[in-house]
Structure 1
Amino acid sequence: MDLTLAIVLVAFAGVFLISFMRGAFGGGFAIVGIPLLSTVMDPVTAGGMLAPLFVAMDLYALRYWKASTWSKPDLVLLVPALVIGIGCGYLLFRLLDHRAIAIVMAAITLVFVSLWFLRGGEVTVQPRSTPKALAAGFTSGITTMVAHSGGPPLAMYLLPLGLSKEIYAGTTSLFFTVGNATKLVPWLMLVQPEAKVWALMAICLLAIPAGIWLGWRLHGALDQRQVYRACYGLLVVTALKLLWDGVSGYL
């Protein structure tokens, strides 16, 4: 991969967009920035480039999403399941049919969002469920390892709890901080980025502070209802992207 100006600008914009989503909603919607990267590099190279950048985003985002914004009762269940899911995802990375996983995950997400809209699109409060939390964490671990798309399973567990917008974003942020740190080495082992990719990573690091700060400012400007509607809307975007990736892979 040659480091042309076009590649640098597109990659920088993609990392900025992902950082913006990280600051606004705590993480989980990285896939919305990946289409930009896929225009200048193959998905595996993009995944390898993003893995270290995700960790840098996470560390910087902790300035805003501090311990007071974490839902500890949920994280106690979600995080161990996430780590196990990442381990399984790594072992199955070359065996799993990524296209089928993308299609199934997209279908489940679209059904989840559709049911929410049919119920009136209101912020609800449902009781916690240990089995649901473990399933969400484990599934998110597999999908984040395989396709950097761990957001939908986590959102499908957290959003129905009706957490405050700060607690939702902070919990999501810490969840993916652990997840991205856990999958960093496996991704680098699978991809083994070349020197030019590392150079591109260094350039894209400069996009992270501004992206996260602007996203955090947007989060502060939105009320609870608007944040939840935005998250459900982003789930639709994520699902459609996954559906496209899966279906186009068979064509």
Structure 2
Amino acid sequence: MIAVPAAPELTAATILVVFAGVFLICFMKGAFGGGFSIVGIPLLSTVMDPVTAGGLLAPLLVAMDLFALRYWKPATWSKPDLIRLLPGLVIGIGFGFLLFRALDHRAIAIVMAAVTLAFVGLWLVGGANVTIRPRSSPKAVAAGVASGISTMVAHSGGPPLAMYLLPLGLSKDVYAGTTSLFFTVGNATKAVPWLLLVRPAGIDWELMAACLLAIPSGVWLGWRFHGRLDQRELYRACYGLLVVTALKLLWDGVSGYFA
């Protein structure tokens, strides 16, 4: 088991910063179905260490996902893709949990960033158009496993899933709904392992309770934003977020070697 980090101080500034980070993640879930939780972690990391932030987010992500399913109903799920993706996701989470201490989180972050930037680069070279490609079971399994490992290690499972789903040319609602259910299963699966690894203190639970208030409004505003985007705009936004996520992963990985 990893060392349990010190609990953050429960100050007004801490509550405000964590609330803002959770709200941002909720907005992303409402707008894109999930997969970009890492964009909110930098805010949390200003008032607590990243491991504590991971433990704090683990149960909150489950609550966000369950609320988001109010908008992303079964009609928005691509069931053929989920059947291919979910087994690999669960296997990846299990693998990530078993090797949590042994895995070099920095190297994983750098590799994931490089692959993601290459994927976006190829999209730009191809004219930034959505080229529809056929489904592939091996690619789906690989994406599920990679997403499971990265979401368990760093709450950054979005890029592998996006790299599989975006080339399929799904409608914007089906893309978001499929992503939402994928991470509902993933976050529910990894919640207990994360809590076992981090063991949140009483203050952490108080922060979680305060942040529950951010979920309804954050998800709803994200969902309204999703409705204003057309298909092309949503796909461009997703590719743009992949770049942001990749740069954040690259920074975390490289700076980790000099910490």
The bucket for the TM-score relative to the shorter chain is over 0.9
* Gapped regions of structure 2 (runs ≥ 5): 1-7
1:240 aligns with 2:247: yes
2:60 to 35, 46, 53: 53
User: Shift in Å at residue 111 of structure 1?
Assistant: 0.3
Q: Which runs of 4+ in 1 moved over 4 A?
A: none
1:87 — aligned with what?
Answer: 94
Instruction: Provide the rounded CA distance (Å) in 1 between the counterparts of 2:177 and 2:185.
Output: 13
1:180 — aligned with what?
Answer: 187
| TM-score for the superposition, normalised by structure 1 | 1.00
Instruction: Provide the rounded CA distance (Å) in 1 between the counterparts of 2:104 and 2:91.
Output: 19
1:193 — aligned with what?
Answer: 200
2:143 — aligned with what?
Answer: 136
Q: CA RMSD in A?
A: 0.4
User: Shift in Å at residue 124 of structure 1?
Assistant: 1.9
2:4 — aligned with what?
Answer: none
Instruction: Provide the rounded CA distance (Å) in 2 between the counterparts of 1:184 and 1:30.
Output: 14
User: Shift in Å at residue 171 of structure 1?
Assistant: 0.2
Q: Secondary structure at the match of 1:63?
A: coil
1:68 — aligned with what?
Answer: 75
Per-residue CA shift, 1:171-225, capped at 9, x if unaligned? 0000000000000000000000000000000000000100000000000000000
| TM-score for the superposition, normalised by structure 2 | 0.96
2:104 — aligned with what?
Answer: 97
Instruction: Provide the rounded CA distance (Å) in 1 between the counterparts of 2:235 and 2:40.
Output: 20
Q: Percent same amino acid among aligned pairs? A: 78
Q: Secondary structure at the match of 1:174?
A: helix
Instruction: Provide the rounded CA distance (Å) in 2 between the counterparts of 1:195 and 1:107.
Output: 38
Amino acid paired to 1:153: P
User: Shift in Å at residue 103 of structure 1?
Assistant: 0.3
Amino acid paired to 2:96: G
Structure whose residues are more often helix by fraction: 1
Amino acid paired to 2:147: S
Instruction: Provide the rounded CA distance (Å) in 2 between the counterparts of 1:20 and 1:37.
Output: 16
Aligned residue pairs total 251
1:110 — aligned with what?
Answer: 117
User: Shift in Å at residue 123 of structure 1?
Assistant: 1.6
Instruction: Provide the rounded CA distance (Å) in 1 between the counterparts of 2:219 and 2:24.
Output: 9
Q: Secondary structure at the match of 2:212?
A: helix
Instruction: Provide the rounded CA distance (Å) in 2 between the counterparts of 1:17 and 1:48.
Output: 17
Per-residue CA shift, 1:30-87, capped at 9, x if unaligned? 0001000000000000000000000000000000000000000000010011001000
